[in-house]
Amino acid sequence: MKRMKVLLAAFLVSMLVILAGCQSVGGLDISKTLADNLTVKSSESKQTLSLEIVPSGTQMSEEEKEMLDLINSFSLTIDHAMMQDASTGSVEGSLSLDGKKLPFHVSVDKKNLILWVEGAKQPISIALDTLYSGYGVDAANLQPTTEQSQQLIKNVGKFLFKNVSNPASISVSSVTDTVYGESLSLQKLHVDIRGDELVGLAKSFLTSVSKDKEGVKELISTLYDVYYPIFKSEVDTLNELSDMGNVDEEVLPFGLGTLNSVIDDKEAAVIYLTNQLQKALNEFLVDYDKDVNEMFTDTPELNELFSKNTVLAMDYMFDKNLNVRKQNIDLTVQIPTTIEAPIKQIKVHSTSEIWNVNKAISANIIDISKGSLAIDLLNANKVTPGTMLRNFDNQSEAYRFIKEDMGVTQKYIYMNTLVDEDYDWYYGYALPIDVNKTKMVPLRYVAEQLDAELKLDASGKQITIIDDLTGSTIVLKNGSNQALVDGKVVKLTEPVMKHDGTYYVPLHFIAKALGSTVQWDNDSKSILIERK
């Protein structure tokens, strides 16, 4: 029951993003028009997005006020977005925060997602065509065709808009407005959706879907065409791995029950899934009103969240070809007073203009022929803070943002020092040891936790550590009480030692050498190594 109420609350929130209903207003077929605009093939546009946190009037601490001011200073400006086709596009704009502006440029095609930020020495690239290669899967088999994607988006939009009732406040009027410097005669669709309407709109939508058997079948049929080849490719890959002994056969075939026996037969699978979905909807609707009442009774703060003060207001302006050319969206979310936060409302404001709809457009793809910082998403942990920071001018706003605001260099390492046979397996590191009142810690563990690279020479006696952030080199020798830090001799309180196959070094030496500080928690007998 609790899970059902959570799902119901989530569904009510999601209803805010379904823009309008199925009925025509002022001669405008809203369902068809909105669905058609989901499948625009190409366009150029610009957009702004801003946030506003409205204080509740209760007293705030200085820290809370600073955080509120910081959030309210945020804005996103897209100066020029170019959609060449379903898989190729570019966006140029800037992020503003705390009075500072950070220009950026993003481009994507079938091969790469590329990001450039002002201050970067090279653009950052993510290879999309090799994303699945680590699993031995052909990426082409996991991507729907452009035609399939377009049809899927259109069918989903058509299905949603057809089954949603119009909210109480919806109107169509004729206006003259400017889009990209051009004065146009437009049809303006205005919609207000209030939080206290969502319960009724949600029930109306679910009831309509439960009766729309042909619409559900059409939607599932489209989903099947797009995702069955992907599903089949993954099953075949897992079966191949299973034959090679790399996968436990018990995980196959995904525990899909009855669906397993019909999944390869499209008609049978579509009928089965349609019947299951509508059966579940009908069962859900039986107790819908009761569940809603219980949800609002058990969680009274929802009465404020889903009140008339939570409003999604939208203006969509269409040209004579019924293409969206301008949008204004304002979302106000009422924050329940029971939440211990000094804020009353969260507001989001967005405006956009669109031109050159369905015309020939060439996206501004970022050139990486001269190099880029390549990131493999399957091994993203190999992109260390030092690797990222070295790609930016250390005087740039991007460098400051990544280092200070994002805190990419911050590290907190907790090390237990007490032997506990029940939990030794959990630590994942050799416990520190005491030698002549000097706390000795496992070298490799501490170095790797601080992103440093550790190398052993052929004899296994000389150890070289390269600091990820500074590039400093630390050279140690087993049994020696001296270290070389960037060529300078540093004396150790105790010599490097090998114990139970693990090299140990003095705690304070290695922490300081790698730019960290040490704290001792006497209550838990644990060590905290911190790097800011």
Query: What string of pLDDT tens digits covers the 532 residues of the chain?
Result: 444 444 444 444 454 444 444 555 656 666 677 767 777 889 999 999 999 999 988 888 898 899 899 899 999 999 999 999 988 999 999 999 888 999 999 999 988 999 999 999 999 999 886 655 544 445 445 556 667 677 777 778 778 888 888 888 889 999 999 999 999 999 999 999 999 998 898 899 899 999 999 999 999 998 888 888 877 776 666 555 555 555 444 444 444 556 667 788 899 989 999 999 999 999 999 999 999 999 999 989 999 999 999 999 999 999 999 899 999 999 999 999 887 788 999 999 999 999 999 999 999 999 999 999 999 877 766 789 999 999 999 999 999 989 988 889 999 999 988 876 555 555 678 889 999 999 999 999 999 999 999 999 887 789 999 999 999 999 999 999 999 999 999 999 999 999 999 999 999 999 999 999 999 998 888 999 999 8
**Residue 152 carries which side chain, given as an amino acid letter?**
L
Q: Indicate if 397 and 450 belong to the same structural domain.
A: no
Identify the bridge partners of residue 312 per DSSP, sorted by sequence position: 193, 331
User: Residue 124 is which amino acid?
Assistant: I
- Are 65 and 191 members of one domain? yes
The interaxial angle of helices 288-298 and 198-211, nearest 10 deg, is 150
Quick check: is 370 in a domain? no
Residues 54 and 89 both lie in one domain:
yes
Smallest Cα–Cα separation from 135: which of 378, 383, 380, 382?
A: 378
Last residue of a domain, one of 365, 390, 405: 405
Q: Look up the pTM and report it.
A: 0.79
Task: Work out the number of other CB atoms within 10 angstroms of the CB of residue 491.
Answer: 8
Q: How far apart are CA 366 and CA 92, in angstroms?
A: 11
Q: Three-state SS string across 471-507, please? A: CCEEEEECCCCEEEECCEEEECCCCCEEECCEEEEEH
Residue-level pLDDT at 161: 80
Whether residue 503 lies inside any domain: the answer is: yes
Hey, is 514 helix, strand or coil?
A: coil
User: Both 207 and 138 in a single domain?
Assistant: yes
pLDDT value, residue 250: 43
Residues 15 and 44 in one domain: yes
Terminal Cα-to-Cα distance of the chain (whole angstroms): 45
Q: What is the pLDDT of residue 110?
A: 86
Residues 436 and 527 in one domain: yes
Lateral strand order in the sheet of 482-485: 453-456, 462-466, 473-477, 482-485, 488-491
What is the reported pLDDT for 185? 96
Residues in CB range of 156: below 8 A, 6 or more apart: 38, 219, 222
Owning domain of residue 449 = 411-531
Q: Examine the domain organization and report whether 139 and 276 are in the same domain.
A: yes
In the sheet with 411-416, reading across from the earlier edge strand, the strands are: 411-416, 526-531, 517-521
* CB-CB contact of 180 with 170 (8 Å): no
* Buried-exposed string 44-73: b where 16+ CB fall within 10 A, e elsewhere: bbbbebbeebebeeeebeeeeeeebeeebe
Give the pLDDT score at 95.
94
Dihedral sign, CA of 397, 400, 404, 408?
Answer: positive
Answer whether 483's CB lies under 8 Å from 495's CB: no
Judgement on whether residues 257 and 385 belong to the same structural domain of the protein:
no
Strand order in the sheet with 75-85: 169-179, 182-194, 311-318, 324-334, 343-355, 43-55, 75-85, 88-97, 100-108, 112-117, 124-127, 373-375
Q: What is the pLDDT of residue 488?
A: 96
Q: What is the DSSP string of 389-409?
A: HTTB-TTSHHHHIIIIIS-TT
Running DSSP on this structure, what letter comes out for residue 414? E
Residue type, 181: G
d(CA 466, CA 486): 10
- Report the number of distinct structural domains present in the chain: 3
Residues 6+ apart with CB under 8 A from 4: 284, 291
What is the model's pLDDT at position 423?
A: 56
Task: Specify the pLDDT at position 230.
Answer: 74
Element (H, E) at 340: none
Alpha-carbon gap, residue 78 to 93, rounded angstroms:
4
Under 8 Å between Cβ of 319 and 353: no
Residue 459 has a pLDDT of 79
Angle, alpha carbons 77-60-97 (nearest 5°): 15
Tell the residue number behind the tokens 């957009």, with chain if given: 47
Taking the C-alpha atoms of residue 348 and residue 330, their distance in angstroms, rounded to an integer, is 6
pLDDT at 396: 94
In a shared domain, residues 389 and 420: no
Identify residue 219 by its one-letter amino acid code: L
Looking at the fold, whether 120 and 84 belong to one and the same domain comes out as yes
**Do the domain assignments include residue 371?**
no
Same domain, 322 and 424: no
In angstroms, rounded to a whole number, what is the distance separating the alpha carbons of residues 368 and 209? Answer: 48
In a domain, 372, yes or no: no
Q: What is the pLDDT of residue 427?
A: 64
Does a structural domain hold residue 294? yes
Both 236 and 209 in one domain: the answer is yes
Rounded to 5 degrees, φ, ψ at 202 are -65, -45
